[in-house]
Each structure stands twice: as structure tokens, then as C-alpha cells.
């Protein structure tokens, strides 16, 4: 047993949504390569960069700073997906990747965690800093599923790139947009 994040989707993500998610994850990994240098494809292959392609995202921490490999795929391979990070430094990027997944896939992905919201704050701040969002919440992690999309919609009012937020919301799950509007 250890500190674990859970993420599940039962249907494949659309090509359009995956392409947008992939672009944001690539940007997230670019930030790591320029700043933190925490990530590799596998913990025991520190010279291999994280993998982002048309089907999946795969990464881990390096050496002793790695634990279980994070994998999210366009087509679900299991109904029960998880990544045990043991709170190691790469957890920051696992959380950020899950927040981006929720932004892009809306109700198409469900998130939960052994952690509390305070454990997600650095990952949320990283996403806010790189992408200019203003995601904040006083919810617990189980309520984070709706809070991320709600706060994205709220940040649309003051975001420096309103067009980008409009595009993100247009790509979000239509059912989620309906729920937010009512």
C-alpha cells in the first residue's frame, strides 16, 4: 500500500480531445526538461525522456525519485487505472497530468486519490503557472472532478488568453458544460 492516484475512463477519448491533451502534456514535459528535470520514461532509464504519442502518455521519476510508472492511454486498457507515486517528486507531474486530463476530458475521466486537496495544490499551481489558469478549490479530491472544470469556467472571466479558455471549454465534455451552466 502507498500513496496512489486513481483515474478511470471506460470509453476511448476522441482524436480531437487527445490531440489537445497531448499538446498540453508535451508543454508540461517541456517545462520539466527546462526546469525540474525530474522525469524519464522509466525510473531505471534516466536518459529516456517521457513518452507522449498518439495513443499514450508514459513517465516516471528518475532513479530513487521514481516509483510506479504513470500511464494514461487514449483507449482504456483497464477499468481500474492507478499510479502509486509514494509522494516522490514526480508526483507533482502526475497530479498536473491528471488535472490536464480532467480539463480536456471532463466527465470522460474520473479522478480520485489517497491524498487530500493540500497534496494536489503544487500540481494545480504548476498547471496554473504554465497554462495561465486560475484553478482553485476548497473541495476535497473526490469533488475535484467537478471543481476543476468549474474553476476553468470561472477563470475564463479573467484569463489573459480568453480565446484559449473558450477553446478548452469547447473541447470539454458537453454534459459538463451543461451542468456548469445550470
pLDDT of residue 154: 52
Q: Is the pLDDT of residue 34 over 90?
A: yes
Tally of domains in the chain = 1
Element (H, E) at 67: none
pLDDT of residue 171: 55
Q: Where are the alpha helices (DSSP H) in the chain?
A: 15-34, 91-105, 117-131, 144-155, 162-171, 174-181
Task: Considering only residues 133 and 99, tell me which one the structure prediction assigns the higher pLDDT.
Answer: 99
Question: How is residue 66 written as a grid cell?
Answer: 521514481
With bands split at pLDDT 50, 70 and 90, how would you rate the model's confidence at 58? very high
Task: Considering only residues 35 and 140, tell me which one the structure prediction assigns the higher pLDDT.
Answer: 35
Element (H, E) at 72: strand 70-73
pLDDT of residue 64: 94
Angle value at C-alpha 133, between 132 and 139, nearest 5 degrees: 150
Average pLDDT, the chain: 82
The residue range of the domain holding 70 is: 4-181
User: How do residues 147-167 score in pLDDT, each as one tens digit?
Assistant: 565 555 554 445 455 555 555
Element (H, E) at 81: strand 81-84
pLDDT of residue 175: 43
* Rounded distance between C-alpha atoms, residue 124 and residue 148, angstroms: 9
Q: What is the pTM of this model?
A: 0.80
pLDDT of residue 30: 96
Amino acid at each position: 500500500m502507498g500513496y496512489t492516484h486513481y483515474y478511470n475512463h471506460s470509453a476511448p477519448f476522441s482524436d480531437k480531445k487527445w490531440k489537445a491533451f497531448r499538446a498540453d502534456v508535451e508543454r508540461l514535459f517541456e517545462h520539466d526538461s527546462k526546469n525540474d528535470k525530474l522525469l524519464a520514461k522509466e525510473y531505471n532509464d534516466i536518459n529516456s525522456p517521457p513518452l507522449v504519442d498518439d495513443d499514450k502518455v508514459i513517465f516516471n521519476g528518475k532513479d530513487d525519485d521514481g516509483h510506479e510508472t504513470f500511464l494514461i492511454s487514449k483507449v482504456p486498457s483497464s477499468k481500474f487505472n492507478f499510479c502509486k507515486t509514494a509522494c516522490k517528486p514526480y508526483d507533482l507531474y502526475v497530479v498536473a497530468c491528471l488535472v490536464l486530463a480532467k480539463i480536456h476530458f471532463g466527465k470522460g475521466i474520473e479522478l480520485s486519490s489517497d491524498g487530500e486537496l493540500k497534496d494536489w495544490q503544487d500540481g494545480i499551481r504548476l498547471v496554473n503557472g504554465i497554462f495561465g489558469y486560475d484553478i482553485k478549490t476548497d473541495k476535497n479530491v473526490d469533488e475535484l472532478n467537478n471543481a476543476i472544470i468549474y474553476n476553468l469556467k470561472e477563470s475564463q472571466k479573467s484569463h489573459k488568453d480568453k480565446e484559449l479558455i473558450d477553446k478548452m471549454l469547447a473541447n470539454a465534455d458537453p454534459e459538463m458544460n451543461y451542468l456548469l451552466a445550470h
